[in-house]
Amino acid sequence: MPTIHPTAIVEPGAQLAAGVEIGAFSIIRQHVSIGEGTVVGPHVVIEGRTTIGRDNQIFQFASIGAIPQDLKFHGEETTLTIGDRNKIREFTTLHLGTEDGGGKTVVGSDNLLMAYTHVAHDCVVGNHVILANNATLAGHVLVEDYAILGGMSAVHQFTRIGAHVMASGGSMIAQDIPPYVIAQGDRAKPVGLNLIGLKRRGFSTETLSALKKAYKLVFRSGLRQEDALQQIAETVEQSPEVLAFTEFIRNSERGIAR
């Protein structure tokens, strides 16, 4: 059975699995579903058509499932889906999707969203992502697995952040950041590969060597992007990581940061 503090409000229709804890003065609205073992701290508001997985920790004053900060939203039945084992810290805000953006906001599993972080409407956040304090995602942003956004960073709408990216604190990101890259600045630009992070995650020496070659061809050779990608295809071992790097660049609609 769930454990609900006497001062909390859980509306009829809300679904709380076994082992869920709801803290003092928290409010859980009628369309919310919370999975087994998730702990909701005091003064949390969870609303909208929000589905939360198991074993999450949601700290005090978080606001989850509120309507989008989008003037085109007029009460459509959109959703927010959150996976398992996430840590959602104080004053974090996560919003429902919009009809024009596909109708759903998605946050994966094993993420750390530090205090005052914001995930706007129609964002997709992968797994093992860290958003440091005050990191902000505008609408329709994609953040791939293992990306880290430093404190006070902000991501422009419709921008993509590749897997294993490290964005330094205060980065203002207005164009796509390819996988495995460190980016920093206003407007943020790549400054190298995230070698320390990749080594910690077990990337082989051979893989790192191939990624270095690919990175240099795109960002250091002076070649046009199309020519650099062609050179990578012809001269660099086509490992899954190199392919992910080049395909991300080819598929960029906003253009990659340079």
Q: What is the pLDDT of residue 151?
A: 98
Q: Do residues 44 and 60 make contact, with C-beta atoms less than 8 angstroms apart?
A: yes
For residue 101, what are its two tokens? Answer: 């953006």
Q: Name every residue whose Cβ is closer than 8 Å to that of residue 139 and which is 6 or more positions away in sequence.
A: 68, 70, 98, 101, 120, 121, 122, 123, 157, 158
For residue 255, what are its two tokens? Answer: 């253009």
CATH numbers and ranges of domains, the chain: 3-140 (2.160.10.10), 198-250 (1.20.1180.10)
Q: Half-sphere exposure of residue 152, counting CA atoms within 13 Å on the CB side?
A: 5
Mean pLDDT (10-residue bins), the chain, 258 residues: 97 98 98 98 98 98 98 96 98 97 97 98 98 98 98 98 98 98 97 97 97 98 97 96 98 96
Q: Burial, 74: exposed, middle or buried (Cβ in 10 Å; 0-12, 13-18, 19+)?
A: exposed
Q: What is the pLDDT of residue 143?
A: 98
Please say whether the dihedral angle defined by the alpha carbons of residues 131, 144, 50 and 99, taken in this order, is positive or negative.
Answer: positive
Residue 169: name the closest of 133, 116, 127, 125 by CA: 133
Neighbours of 5 (CB within 10 A): 15
What distance in Å separates the CA atoms of residue 83 and residue 66, rounded to the nearest whole number? 18
User: What are the φ and ψ backbone dihedral angles of 41, each rounded to 5 degrees?
Assistant: -75, -170
Tell me: the pLDDT tens digits for 35-77?
A: 999 999 999 999 999 999 999 999 999 999 999 999 999 999 9
What distance in Å separates the CA atoms of residue 97 and residue 79, rounded to the nearest whole number? 6
Q: What is the pLDDT of residue 31?
A: 98
Q: For residue 87, give the amino acid letter.
A: K
Q: Half-sphere exposure of residue 28, counting CA atoms within 13 Å on the CB side?
A: 28
Q: Do residues 74 and 80 make contact, with C-beta atoms less than 8 angstroms apart?
A: no
Q: Helix or strand or coil: residue 27?
A: strand
Measured CA to CA in angstroms, residue 222 lies from 15, 113, 218 at distances of 56, 37, 8
* Residue 121 CA to its chain's centroid (Å): 12
For residue 23, what are its two tokens? Answer: 């803290």
Q: What is the pLDDT of residue 187?
A: 95
CA angle (99, 163, 222) in 5-degree steps: 110
Catalytically active residues are: 121-122, 139
Tell me: the pLDDT tens digits for 190-222?
A: 999 999 999 999 999 999 999 999 999 999 999
Q: What is the pLDDT of residue 6?
A: 98
For residue 114, what are its two tokens? Answer: 């530090």
The length of the chain in residues reads 258
